Chains A and B, each alone.
Chain A
Amino acid sequence: MKRTLPGFPLSFGFMMFYMSFIVFIPLIALVWYTMGIGWEAFWNAIFDPRLFAALRLSFSASFIAAIINGVFGLLIAWVLVRYDFFGKRIMDGMIDLPFALPTAVAGIALTSLYAENGWIGSLLAPLGIQVAFTPIGVTIALTFIGLPFVVRMVEPVLRSLDQETEEAAGLLGASPFTIFKTVLLPLLTPAILAGMTLAFARALGEYGSVVFIAGNIPMQTEIVPLLIMNKLEQFDYAGATAIATVMLALSFILLLGANILQWWLSRNLGQKVVDSSR
Chain B
Amino acid sequence: MNTMSITITGITKDFGKTEVLKNINLTVKEGELLALLGPSGSGKTTLLRMIAGLEHASKGEIFFDGNNVTNVNAKDRNVGFVFQHYALFSHMKVKDNIAYGLRVKKKKDRPTKSQIDSKVNELLELVKLEGLGERYPSQLSGGQKQRVALARSLAIEPSVLLLDEPFGALDAQVRKELRRWLRTLHKQTGVTTVFVTHDQEEALDVADQVIVLNDGEIIQEGTPSHIYDSPNSPFMYRFLGNANELKGTATKEGISIGGVTLASGEPHADGANVISYVRPHEISLAHASGNDHHLEVEITKTHPVGPIVFIEAKRLDGDRERIEIELTKGSYDNLSIKIGDIMYARVERFGTFQANEYMI
Cβ of A11 under 8 Å from chain B:
no
In the complex, the answer to whether A272 meets B137 with C-beta atoms within 8 Å is yes
A residues less than 8 Å from B88 (CB atoms): 165, 168, 276
Q: Which 7 A-B pairs have the closest CB atoms?
A: A275-B138, A172-B101, A164-B87, A276-B90, A168-B87, A174-B104, A272-B90
- How many angstroms between the C-alpha atoms of A173 and B155 in the bound complex? 11
Cβ of B358 under 8 Å from chain A:
no
Q: Which of A156-198 contact B (CB under 8 A)?
A: 162, 164-165, 167-175, 178, 182-183, 186-187
| Interface, chain B (partner A; CB < 8 A) | 52-54, 74-81, 83, 85-91, 100-101, 104-105, 136-138, 145, 149, 152-153, 155-156
- How many angstroms between the C-alpha atoms of A275 and B75 in the bound complex? 28
Q: Is the interface of A mostly helix, strand, loop or mixed?
A: helix
In the complex, the answer to whether A171 meets B74 with C-beta atoms within 8 Å is yes
- Would you list 23 pairs from A and B whose C-beta atoms are within 8 A, ordered by A residue? A162-B85, A165-B88, A165-B89, A167-B81, A167-B83, A168-B149, A169-B104, A170-B74, A170-B75, A171-B75, A171-B81, A172-B152, A172-B155, A172-B156, A173-B78, A173-B104, A182-B100, A187-B91, A272-B136, A272-B137, A276-B86, A276-B136, A276-B145
Q: Which of A230-278 contact B (CB under 8 A)?
A: 268-269, 271-273, 275-277
- How many angstroms between the C-alpha atoms of A170 and B101 in the bound complex? 9
- Among residues of B, the one whose C-beta sits closest to the C-beta of A171 is B81
A residues less than 8 Å from B90 (CB atoms): 165, 187, 272-273, 275-277
- How many angstroms between the C-alpha atoms of A271 and B91 in the bound complex? 9
Checking B85, B104, B136 against A164 with a beta-carbon cut-off of 8 angstroms, the contacting residue is: B85
Q: How far is the CB of A20 from chain B (nearest CB, A)?
A: 37
- How many angstroms between the C-alpha atoms of A116 and B155 in the bound complex? 61
B residues less than 8 Å from A171 (CB atoms): 52-54, 74-75, 77, 79-81, 153
Chain A residues within 8 Å of chain B by Cβ, number? 25
Checking B52, B89, B153 against A183 with a beta-carbon cut-off of 8 angstroms, the contacting residue is: B89
A residues less than 8 Å from B52 (CB atoms): 171
B residues less than 8 Å from A165 (CB atoms): 87-90
Checking B54, B101, B138, B149 against A173 with a beta-carbon cut-off of 8 angstroms, the contacting residue is: B101
Q: A172-B152, A187-B91, A273-B91 are in contact. Are A167 and B138 (CB under 8 A)?
A: no
Q: A272-B137, A275-B138 are in contact. Are A173 and B87 (CB under 8 A)?
A: no
- Among residues of A, the one whose C-beta sits closest to the C-beta of B136 is A272
Q: How far is the CB of A278 from chain B (nearest CB, A)?
A: 8
- How many angstroms between the C-alpha atoms of A182 and B77 in the bound complex? 21
In the complex, the answer to whether B89 meets A174 with C-beta atoms within 8 Å is no
- How many angstroms between the C-alpha atoms of A191 and B80 in the bound complex? 32
Q: How far is the CB of B334 from chain A (nearest CB, A)?
A: 50
Checking B53, B100, B137, B145 against A169 with a beta-carbon cut-off of 8 angstroms, the contacting residue is: B100
Checking B78, B79, B91, B100 against A272 with a beta-carbon cut-off of 8 angstroms, the contacting residue is: B91
| Interface, chain A (partner B; CB < 8 A) | 162, 164-165, 167-175, 178, 182-183, 186-187, 268-269, 271-273, 275-277
Checking A172, A174, A175, A276 against B138 with a beta-carbon cut-off of 8 angstroms, the contacting residue is: A276
How many A-B pairs with Cβ below 8 Å? 84
In the complex, the answer to whether B75 meets A175 with C-beta atoms within 8 Å is yes
- Among residues of B, the one whose C-beta sits closest to the C-beta of A275 is B138
- How many angstroms between the C-alpha atoms of A182 and B156 in the bound complex? 18
In the complex, the answer to whether B137 meets A178 with C-beta atoms within 8 Å is no
- How many angstroms between the C-alpha atoms of A162 and B88 in the bound complex? 10
In the complex, the answer to whether B156 meets A173 with C-beta atoms within 8 Å is yes
B residues less than 8 Å from A271 (CB atoms): 138
Q: A173-B75, A272-B137 are in contact. Are A186 and B156 (CB under 8 A)?
A: no
B residues less than 8 Å from A269 (CB atoms): 91
Checking A174, A268, A277 against B75 with a beta-carbon cut-off of 8 angstroms, the contacting residue is: A174
- How many angstroms between the C-alpha atoms of A183 and B101 in the bound complex? 13
Q: How far is the CB of B329 from chain A (nearest CB, A)?
A: 41
- How many angstroms between the C-alpha atoms of A172 and B76 in the bound complex? 9
- How many angstroms between the C-alpha atoms of A52 and B356 in the bound complex? 91
- How many angstroms between the C-alpha atoms of A277 and B156 in the bound complex? 25
- How many angstroms between the C-alpha atoms of A253 and B265 in the bound complex? 89
- How many angstroms between the C-alpha atoms of A164 and B76 in the bound complex? 17
Extra 16 A-B pairs, beta carbons < 8 Å, given A173-B104, A174-B75, A276-B86: A164-B83, A165-B90, A168-B81, A171-B53, A171-B74, A171-B79, A172-B100, A172-B101, A173-B78, A178-B104, A182-B104, A271-B138, A272-B90, A273-B90, A273-B91, A276-B137
- Among residues of A, the one whose C-beta sits closest to the C-beta of B80 is A171
In the complex, the answer to whether B156 meets A167 with C-beta atoms within 8 Å is no
* B52, B83, B87, B153: residue with the most chain A Cβ atoms closer than 10 Å: B87
- Among residues of B, the one whose C-beta sits closest to the C-beta of A270 is B91
Checking A168, A173, A272 against B83 with a beta-carbon cut-off of 8 angstroms, the contacting residue is: A168
A residues less than 8 Å from B80 (CB atoms): 171
A residues less than 8 Å from B101 (CB atoms): 172-173
In the complex, the answer to whether A172 meets B104 with C-beta atoms within 8 Å is yes
Q: How far is the CB of B2 from chain A (nearest CB, A)?
A: 16
B residues less than 8 Å from A178 (CB atoms): 104
A residues less than 8 Å from B89 (CB atoms): 165, 168-169, 182-183
Q: How far is the CB of A14 from chain B (nearest CB, A)?
A: 32
- How many angstroms between the C-alpha atoms of A187 and B92 in the bound complex? 10
Q: A168-B83, A173-B156 are in contact. Are A186 and B91 (CB under 8 A)?
A: yes
